[in-house]
Amino acid sequence: MPVYKGTAISGSVFVGKVKIYKQWQLPSFPKTINKSQIKAELKKLKSGISQLENNIRSVLQDADISQLDKDILNTHLMIVTDIEITQILENAVVSNLASAPYAVSSSFETIIKNFEQMENNYIAQRADDYKDIAHQLLSIILNVKERTNLKFKQDDIVFLHEITPSLVSNLAKAGVKAYCTEHGSHTSHSSILSRAMGFTAIVVSEEIIYKLKDGDQAVLDAEGNKVIIKPNPTQINIYAQKLHALKEKEDFLKSQSDLPAITKTKVKINIKANIEYPGEVANVLDNNCDGIGLFRTEFIYLNRVALPDEEEQTNVYSNLIKKLNNLPVIIRTFDLGGDKLSYMQQFVREENPFLGCRGIRFSLQQTSLFKTQVKAILRASVYGKVSIMFPMIISMDDFVIAKELVSECKAELNRSGIKFNKNVPIGAMIETPSAALSSDHLANVCDFFSLGTNDLVQYTLAVDRNNDKVAPYYIQHHPAVLMLIKQTVLSAKKAGIPVSICGEMASELMYVPLLVGLGINEFSINPAKASAVKAVIRNCDKKLFEIISGFDFNTSIADIENLLKHTLKPYYTIQS
């Protein structure tokens, strides 16, 4: 009964049988050609690109595909129609005398490596999309038929080396409910799709596939971040009971999903959603969220040569807002550095990009890009309740400068006779220790705060959250982190502005009573967690607030863990 540690992508627990997915094998092909073959290879290459573009456009016309699928397919379409990529592929044939398939495999390999080496994990995971396109393009050029009509049994757990967005869709169509992959990340398009489609999925970095055979019984425990192969009778019984309990809990939460998040002391807590693509709005509405607390806009800028103009961005934001049926949305401005705008550019390498020119710092250096986005958001604000949020704020100074640029945008739109909401709230992400420590001053110029705990923990503890070697030091409940959260909440309360939390902490049930007790009045989370978080909030009573208000957070990690795992456990234990 081998047990393999992994990282959960989505879902909870799935018990079934191993089904090893044999990844598509690249048939052999010549790497080089002679000059007389250039014309024929270019024709083969162009024909392949054209066919792939037509294939994607054809799928986009399918009325049955979800909006999220469409968002990702549109990203793929941008890659396929990218003139710069086409030029690189053609140049490989003409100048390097590469065969059409080798031009694709070698050029995309370079592109993928560039992405994977990027320090920003969100951007690094875009490599998935380029792998997907390379795979599909090679299939067409080499005339290899893809296995789209996959056949699986209902209890199959698919084990594979790596997964792409198109394969996630194909597995879903085949009725698969669970998979385990050796390569992947929580932020990849494949993972986003997996969560939207209800998969139970885990990444296990060990070469697990070579140690298994089809038909082996297996347990995917996404809650425990592990995979168990050939579980013994005791384990089978334990997981049978766990599945029964999870089903009861799921049914209970579903029956309670439309109830508001109100504590027993009558405090209303808003439960909003974090999303990266407009297609995720369906999940927001299906899970009865109170709106969107964080809409990441980076996807608009990626996988393209030219920057999106004001019209394109206005359409993206307007369509999103209209779908929300007047629910509020907080749109975060561009949160990347200039080196991420195009993988083809001569990268502006920084010694430490996490401490470099990113977020609002980059926006204030590239004011034209920033103002284009702000004007697009303002124009879209006429369709609903919109707020603007600035990332990577460290003090009042940068925030005030950015706010002045928003005023300039308003004046320019006024002069052009373009309508917009003149009172769009403007807030700051509190994701650096300096922002939290100066939150008293910041609160005087902000309309709201949003605690981005992922980066706040990283910067406070000097720990790269994507580095496995220092993972034990990434402690979200570290006393220093909690004291910064508490200080931010007190500053917001003093100024009379709302404060939300949009980091991973907000989705972890163990932390919810603690955060409510500290005074957080809005959670922005993965929409799938909404019902569970609401249920925990409804458990919070007067005694909880007394416990938290009387607790000294300037203490040891052990004392805080005792508070979380023992004192507060009754509050986050959901009883169906």
Question: CB atoms < 10 A from the CB of 536, how many?
Answer: 21
Query: Could you give the C-alpha distances from 168 to 171, 200, 277, 413, in angstroms and in order?
Result: 5, 12, 17, 43
> Beta strands 226-229 and 3-5: pairing type?
antiparallel
Q: Which residue in the block uniquely carries the two structure tokens 């009172």? A: 423
Angular region, 289: left φ>0, alpha ψ -120 to 50, beta rest:
beta
Residue 168: which H helix or E strand, with range?
helix 165-173
The catalytically annotated residue of 180, 446, 502, 540 is 502
The values of phi and psi at residue 524, to 5°, are -120, 115
Report the distance separating Cα 486 and Cα 560, nearest Å: 14
Residue 314: exposed, middle, or buried by beta-carbon count in 10 A (0-12, 13-18, 19+)? buried
Identify whether the C-beta of residue 293 lies closer than 8 Å to the C-beta of residue 502.
Answer: yes
Identify the three-state secondary structure at position 238: helix
Question: Roughly how many angstroms between the first and final C-alpha of the chain, as a whole number?
Answer: 32
Residue 9: which H helix or E strand, with range?
strand 7-10
Q: Which residue in the block uniquely carries the two structure tokens 């709230």? A: 425
Identify the three-state secondary structure at position 157: strand
- Give the tokens for residue 215: 């038909």
Question: Is there a catalytic annotation at residue 357?
Answer: no
Identify whether the C-beta of residue 329 lies closer than 8 Å to the C-beta of residue 388.
Answer: no
Identify the three-state secondary structure at position 451: strand
Report the distance separating Cα 329 and Cα 332, nearest Å: 10
Give the residue among 272, 302, 289, 283 at the shortest CA–CA distance from 195: 283
Helices 83-94, 100-116: crossing angle, 10 deg rounding: 130
The catalytically annotated residue of 76, 189, 477, 478 is 189
Total length of the chain: 576
Question: Is there a catalytic annotation at residue 180?
Answer: no
Q: H helices within 81-164, ranges in order? A: 83-94, 100-116, 121-124, 127-141
Identify whether the C-beta of residue 222 lies closer than 8 Å to the C-beta of residue 200.
Answer: yes
Which residues are paired to 104 by β-bridges?
A: none
**Any idea which residues carry the catalytic annotation?**
189, 502
